[in-house]
Each structure stands twice: as C-alpha cells, then as structure tokens.
Amino acid sequence: MKDILVNNFLRYVKISSQSDASKKTLPTSSGQLELAKLLKEELEELKLSNIKLDENGILTACIKADESKKSIGFVAHLDTIDVGLSPNVNAQILKFTGDDLDLGKAILKVEQRPEIKKYLNEEIIFSDGSSVLGADNKASVAILMTLAKEFAKNKDIPNVYFAFVPDEEIGLLGSKVLNLDDFCPDYAYTIDCCELGELMYETFNAASAKLFIKGVSAHPMNAYNVMLNPSILASEFTLLFDRLQSPENTKDKQGYIWINELFANQNEAIVGLNIRDHDKNLFEEKKEFIRKAVYFMQEKYKRAEFKLEISDTYSNIKDAMNDKNKIALDKLKQAFKLCNIEPKIIAMRGGTDGSALSKRGLFVPNFFTGAYNFHSQFEFLPISSFLKSYEVAKTLITNS
C-alpha cells in the first residue's frame, strides 16, 4: 500500500484548498469542494455505503461490514492553512543525505531545522518552498482513502465511518456542523499532527473575544476635557493583562490570553483576543478577567462606550472522555503497542476537529501523521513515518 498511500497524497495536495477566513460560506473556498467531489467519486468507485456530500461540503461514507463489532470512525479536514504563501503546492520527494536541501524556492538549512537529522538517508516529501506542503491535513485524507481502498470489500472488520470536513484551520467550522447521524461510529479518531509517536487526547479550551471601543472625537484645537482617544483607551486596556500569560511566555499546559488584533482611528477601536487553557476552570477565569477589565475601563471612562463579545470556539477533547468511550483511547494505545511505536502523550497547545466534536459529546483522540513544521514552507513528511501512521490506522480497524 506504500505506493498507493504516497500517490494519493501527491494527487490531493495538487488541489489548492486553502480556507478563507474572509468568506461566510461553508466551505469557504472552491478548492475544498473540488477535493470533496473528487473523493466522493473515488469512494463511489470503491462502492462504499451511505456516501453523502452535503450542502456544507462535508463528505461522509461508510464501509458496511460486521455489525456485531463496535464501529470505528475517522475524521480528516479538507482545507490547508493560508499563511501568505502560494496556494499551489508543488510536492516533491527528496532523499536527505545530511546536507542543506535546495527545495527550489527556498533552502532548508539543517542547522535551523535539526529535527530532520532523524531521517538521514530517508525519502521525505517537501513542497518546493513556495507553499506549505499540506500534510496538515491531506496526509490524513490520503490515509483514509487508502484505508477505504484496502478494506472496501472486507467483511471481517467493524463498520468504518469516514468524514471529510471543511475549514478546520479557521475555527473547526466543518466539524461543528457535521451531521452525527451520517457520522455515527462508536468511537473515532483524527490524524492531525505531528511527529512519529505523538498521541493526543487533551487540547485547549478555546474562545475568542472582541472589544469595541467608541471614543469621543474632537479637533485638537478644542480637545481639552473633551476628547477621549480610542487609540489610547485600547492601549490602556491591553496594559491590564499580564505579559507572562501571553503565548510567547507560556508552554506545556499553561494557558494564555493573546491580544492578536488592534485597530483604531479617531472614533473607534477594536481589540481582538484569544483565550486558551486546558483547565476548564482556569479557562472560565480568564474570560471573567476580561469582563472585569472591560468593566474597569467603562467605570473609569464613562463617556466612552465599551462593548465586549466573547464566543467559545472549541473544547478540550478530554472533557468528553468517560468510562464508556474511553475505549477509543485504550484501543489507540494498544495499536501503538502492536505497531511497536512508543507513544509520546502530549497536551496539544491548539485544537483538532475532535475539539469541536468533544463539545458535541463525541470523544475523538488524535494521533500523528508523521509530518513536521506545519504552517510553514519547510513543512515535510518523512515517508517512513507516514507509513507508520497508516499502520496505526489500519491496526485500529483490524484489532477492533
């Protein structure tokens, strides 16, 4: 299956499918729908059951097999991240011999990317340096489609559900509206990040906040005791936050408040914030701190207007785990053992589609694709690790 797996990946990354946060449609880009339609055609050729591409660009399907076994599911996202690089991926396979690699449009320097040293004399998939590679998450898409091909006619396995969802990169949008009647396994997984052996069932709780400030404008010649400069008000608001609780000063399971947007003119200002924490109580405390900071500003500057909006984005996967669905984690650890892979259990400082699904009551652990440097022109996917990821997914099915 190696050639099928790699060739599937190389085919799928050719389809530009960056999500677009400026759009209100779902999916937010035509490339995601193009990819979903291609996958649908390939699943139809394999004669899978219950194939459905809905109005949101969400594709679901199922291998119908042994109904007496607990069913299993996999979720992959169709979009790739837009970080200002080319939307077009020109993937290539290079052998790493220990020297810096000329990707074509960029040079990967070993000194700056020491993680590549683990893969001396191995074949690795790169972009040409003008774009991300798109292993996030087309490595998973390729794994799922290769599983579909291998097991399409196998009746000795449990029912296997597949879901391909759009716009994970801009808020897990597809998984938030995934129809759980179409995707209804007993337990499920995402395959979304990172190096060989990584296993995750803890993610951040996440929320976003926006503060809208309306000041009082006046000409400088008669501004005395009149003007309330929204730029100054916004700056003063940001100084209420502890710099030691920002992303650049936190690690591991430490949460943060990230002031990631600041816009101001003579009349108004907007401050955008992201709130993150693995601990639900600390997460709620951070939101309450922001509310109190806004209240403080409003009391101090009564002639100004302060309007705060806070919305939850996703939840910690672990919060959805219980005695009944913990089987998903137990099965994953067992699959690692059967594949002779030492698990590296980490708390992800981010989220997966499982984070959105956990809020809907579905416990969805995550495991590695084998790739490195997501969201970077130096993203790369060692083929040996890619195959190990596929082996874990296959073992989850055969060992159910």
The one-character DSSP state at 80 is B
* Spatial separation of the C-alpha atoms in residues 38 and 33, rounded to whole Å: 9
- Degrees to nearest 5, angle at CA 261 with 318 and 308: 75
182, 60 in Cβ contact below 8 A? yes
* Spatial separation of the C-alpha atoms in residues 60 and 53, rounded to whole Å: 7
Beta-bridged to residue 300, according to DSSP, are none
The one-character DSSP state at 249 is G
DSSP assignment string, 295-322: HHHHHH-TTSEEEEEEEEEE--GGGG--
Q: Is the dihedral of CA 212, 82, 57, 152 positive or negative?
A: negative
Q: Which two tokens stand for residue 271?
A: 């401050």
120, 69 in Cβ contact below 8 A? no
Query: Is residue 15 classed exposed, middle or buried when 0-12, 13-18 and 19+ CB atoms within 10 A define those classes?
Result: buried
Catalytic residues, which ones?
A: 79, 168
φ, ψ at 333 (rounded to 5°): -60, -40
DSSP assignment string, 346-398: EE-SS--HHHHHHHTT----EE--S-BSTTSTT-EEEHHHHHHHHHHHHHHHH
- Degrees to nearest 5, angle at CA 341 with 336 and 346: 80
288, 303 in Cβ contact below 8 A? no
* Spatial separation of the C-alpha atoms in residues 122 and 127, rounded to whole Å: 16
Based on its alpha-carbon atoms, the radius of gyration of the chain, rounded to whole angstroms, reads 23
State the distance between the two ends of the chain, measured CA to CA, in whole angstroms: 21
206, 312 in Cβ contact below 8 A? yes
